[in-house]
């Protein structure tokens, strides 16, 4: 059974993010949830990973709604799937198998890749689901705009927001300021280590926020629908 995706992802969105350890996926998921809350909506963010090490499969499940959310745990029927690394689908480096299980009809698939990586067999299935497929060269955007591939997760986040409308630039900027600004945000494990590495890339917190926001904005503009 394939349910219909939400027609207004700002009212209700179930998002599954899949990637590899060290890509900042958990940070991106957290920022997305924070952006929704800053806009007056509700959100839950649930990270899921095994061994907390680089290149190990990682997922995060983000729910956003205009009303209180009572579900928790894995998103089994996503409106949106975000692929942070091509190996997730090319090499099956993921926890969810079959990968497109439960994907809602008319849903959005956002992939971090400069070239198409979906197999012909999967493409036929996605076409039957009337899925919208968006590719974003996140690593290239991060290098060109932020000066480091560590900002690739920000470019992916911008592409997601631009394509689906699930978050605004203003909301994402507020989330960045809250996450890396004056307020104390407690992160654990690999996420905290990545935070420290990212901070050392920039001389000032404002520069960190500005460069990452520029990556978000560039990808947002690249994928933004003409209707929005």
The domain that contains 130 carries what CATH number?
3.40.920.10
**Residue 161 falls within a domain, yes or no?**
yes
Query: Does residue 190 have a pLDDT over 90?
Result: no
pLDDT given at position 179: 83
Domain that includes residue 157, residue range: 12-223
More confident residue, 118 or 225: 118
Q: Which band of pLDDT confidence, cut at 50, 70 and 90, is reported for residue 186?
A: very low
Question: 123-178 pLDDT, tens per residue?
Answer: 999 999 999 999 999 999 999 999 999 899 999 999 999 999 999 999 999 999 88
Q: Are strands 80-83 and 108-112 parallel, antiparallel or unpaired?
A: parallel
Tell me which of 93-97, 157-161, 221-225 is least confident. 93-97
Question: 20-74 pLDDT, tens per residue?
Answer: 988 999 999 999 999 999 999 999 999 987 655 567 889 999 999 999 999 888 9
**Residue 35 falls within a domain, yes or no?**
yes
Q: What is the 3-state secondary structure (H, E, C) of 146-208?
A: HCCHHHHHHHHHHHHHHHHCCCCHHHHHHHHHHHHCCCCCCCCHHHHHHHHHHHHCCCCHHHH
- Quote the pTM value: 0.87
pLDDT given at position 3: 65
Instruction: Single out the residue of 195, 179, 154, 189 nearest to residue 50, CA to CA.
Output: 189
pLDDT given at position 201: 58
Count of the separate structural domains present in the chain: 1
**Residue 228 falls within a domain, yes or no?**
no
**Residue 3 falls within a domain, yes or no?**
no
User: Where does residue 35 rank: exposed (0-12), middle (13-18), buried (19+ CB within 10 A)?
Assistant: buried
Question: 105-114 pLDDT, tens per residue?
Answer: 999 999 999 9
**Residue 1 falls within a domain, yes or no?**
no
**Residue 187 falls within a domain, yes or no?**
yes
Asked if the bond preceding 98 is cis, omega within 30° of 0, the reply is: yes
Question: 191-202 pLDDT, tens per residue?
Answer: 554 555 555 555
**Residue 7 falls within a domain, yes or no?**
no
Percent of the chain topping pLDDT 70: 83
């Amino acid at each position: 059974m394939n349910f219909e995706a939400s027609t207004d992802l700002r009212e209700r969105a179930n998002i599954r993010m899949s990637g590899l350890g060290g890509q900042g996926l958990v940070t991106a998921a957290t920022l997305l949830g924070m952006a929704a809350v800053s806009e007056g909506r509700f959100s839950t963010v649930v990270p899921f990973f095994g061994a907390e090490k680089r290149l190990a499969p990682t997922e995060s499940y983000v729910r956003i709604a205009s009303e209180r959310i009572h579900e928790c745990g894995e998103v089994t029927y996503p409106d949106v799937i975000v692929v942070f690394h091509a190996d997730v689908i090319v090499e099956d480096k993921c926890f969810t198998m079959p990968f497109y299980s439960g994907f809602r009809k008319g849903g959005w698939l956002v992939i971090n890749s400069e070239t198409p990586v979906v197999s012909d067999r999967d493409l036929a299935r996605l076409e039957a689901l009337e899925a919208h497929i968006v590719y974003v060269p996140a690593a290239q955007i991060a290098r060109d705009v932020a000066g480091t591939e560590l900002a690739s997760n920000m470019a992916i986040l911008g592409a997601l927001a631009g394509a689906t409308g699930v978050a605004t630039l203003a909301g994402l900027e507020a989330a960045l300021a809250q996450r890396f600004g004056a307020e104390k945000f407690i992160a654990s494990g690999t996420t905290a280590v990545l935070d420290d590495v990212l901070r050392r890339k920039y001389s000032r917190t404002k520069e960190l926020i500005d460069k990452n926001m520029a990556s978000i904005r560039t990808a947002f503009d690249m994928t933004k629908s003409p209707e929005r």
